[in-house]
Structure 1
């Protein structure tokens, strides 16, 4: 797929004259031209220019940024975490729930940070955090109380996930994450982002209640490798403009969350069944 200079400038948020300057001064031009001599940029050209924009934004001089932008970014080596056994996971879950029921935020944060450091996001999310949040939700449903416990536990998990170091430096945007319109549950997306950070991938999260037009505009501008949308109810999932996205981007489209169960999806849209599957989907694409 190829793009005109004006289209590329719009994606990157720069002026078309800047593209022309970078071509003339630093050789960051398009790979092809039409028979009429018009410039056309391919995906690789856009990736180099995106790295150029990021480097300049970080304060690198344009000439140096042009040299670095041509270099393929090296992925940060993924840390190998110790596997979490069944007994260890059960013990960790009991400890986290006990701290939550006492509203002991400091202990929850300490436990979460240690678990993530020792075992990694995917293992801890699937073995401790998610089961704990489900149990707290069941308690609220049965007893009609305990909302404050769930909120503080969720806040502690969110903070621990956001403390996972993000990948830095120029590089391809591996994933753009977003909630369906009116969807307010963001914790699972934050877990995916933290897991991608552990793998050295760059990602962005648009957060809760993303309007359809805003999602389409962000995808067109950021050019991610993967777009993943979360929904916990079918009526919210059906508001996501999957068909329009499929016509406007070459990114791999994916959906996640219980809201997609039973929703008819275009053949090109993927639905990973777990956090680990979602991470694998993104890594396979990039």
Structure 2
């Protein structure tokens, strides 16, 4: 391992550019861990040109551009040492520096050919996408944890996590069987990050909110995100996960008497409107004091049509959370006699 040449001291250090970023900010933007950046600096001398007070790393736009090129090259399978030489224009002693044409033409395009189709998104979203494409599990885990901690779960989901998941899905759809490994790795770590969110103490007087995917529906991450947010707010949740059979869904609603039941469908093939009507019709309790759930339909599978009696559509995590909280609040203000425990629930 070649030692990193020492930085020469400046008699009068240059003024720090206004746009210079810290190592942590650059790591989030690029989708690598801060440890990886420091390792690259030690091994390949691809570090920042400026240090604040001689200690703190500050990365300029030019520094970041070199790192972005290195990330694109490594994502294409170029060894890190070669990618670093191409990025900084350096070569081993006695070997001429590569001409610009030596860098793959695809790497000159933003993100390269392996980049996910993100559009206009937050820098953290691009960083997460780059880490996922590289299958850099430690970086993905670090970026997800940072996003949830710094922005809160709702913003992290809507502005960072969900756009990246959608981009992976679009890339997979347009590339055949490629990128399936990217989706699986990213989905696994998103699920793990959501389950690490600590719920607040449940409001014991409230009946639960029931969350389930329609029969045949395997996409659970949106419901996992909703479960995590509701738990943060102290609302009791009963999560039934993927592909809950119709009869099991009926029994779960009858037995728990939920304030609201959320049913997710990713595609029209799993959006069973006959099931919606039957679940919406379920009532429980004594005659004259019957109760029923607010049935909330989530996911693109339900289309744009009118949901039907006793049902409502949810669009997005933030707005959906408001709808659920209003449903819970309305039920909590209802007469106590209309609510009974699971042991006295009767069939519709």
TM-score, normalised via structure 1 length: 0.66
Q: Which residue of 2 aligns with 1:158?
A: 191
| Structure 1 pair 128–256 and aligned structure 2 pair: CA distance change class (3 A) | same
5+ long unaligned stretches in structure 2: 1-119, 284-291, 329-348
Q: CA deviation at 1:239?
A: 5.8
Which of 257, 282, 286 pairs up with 2:324? Answer: 282
Q: Which residue of 2 aligns with 1:143?
A: 175
| Structure 1 pair 209–122 and aligned structure 2 pair: CA distance change class (3 A) | same
Which of 130, 146, 152 pairs up with 1:98? Answer: 130
Runs of 4 or more off by more than 4 Å in structure 1? Answer: none
Task: Report how many aligned residue pairs link the two structures.
Answer: 199
Residues 82-114 of structure 1, C-alpha deviation per residue, up to 9 Å, x if partnerless? xxxxxx961101111111111111221111112
Q: Which residue of 1 aligns with 2:303?
A: 261
Q: Which residue of 1 aligns with 2:140?
A: 108
Q: CA deviation at 1:157?
A: 0.6
Q: In terms of mean alpha carbon deviation, does 177-186 or 268-277 score higher?
A: 268-277
Residues 117-148 of structure 1, C-alpha deviation per residue, up to 9 Å, x if partnerless? 22112111110111101111122122221100
Q: What is the CA–CA distance in structure 2 between the aligned matches of 1:242 and 1:258, rounded to whole Å?
A: 15
Q: CA deviation at 1:263?
A: 4.9
Q: Which residue of 1 aligns with 2:158?
A: 126
Q: What is the CA–CA distance in structure 1 between the aligned matches of 2:307 and 2:122, rounded to whole Å?
A: 36
Higher helix share: 1
- Larger CA Rg, structure 1 vs 2: 2
Which of 265, 276, 279 pairs up with 1:245? Answer: 279
1:16-31 mapped onto 2 (5 Å cutoff)? none
Which of 169, 192, 207 pairs up with 2:226? Answer: 192
Q: Conserved in 2, the CA contact under 8 Å of 1:166 and 1:202?
A: no
| Structure 1 pair 245–147 and aligned structure 2 pair: CA distance change class (3 A) | same
5+ long unaligned stretches in structure 1: 1-87
Which of 201, 204, 215 pairs up with 1:181? Answer: 215
Q: What is the CA–CA distance in structure 2 between the aligned matches of 1:110 and 1:194, rounded to whole Å?
A: 18
Query: Per chain length, whose mean CA-contact separation is higher, i.e. which structure has more relative contact order (CA < 8 Å, sep 6+)?
Result: 1
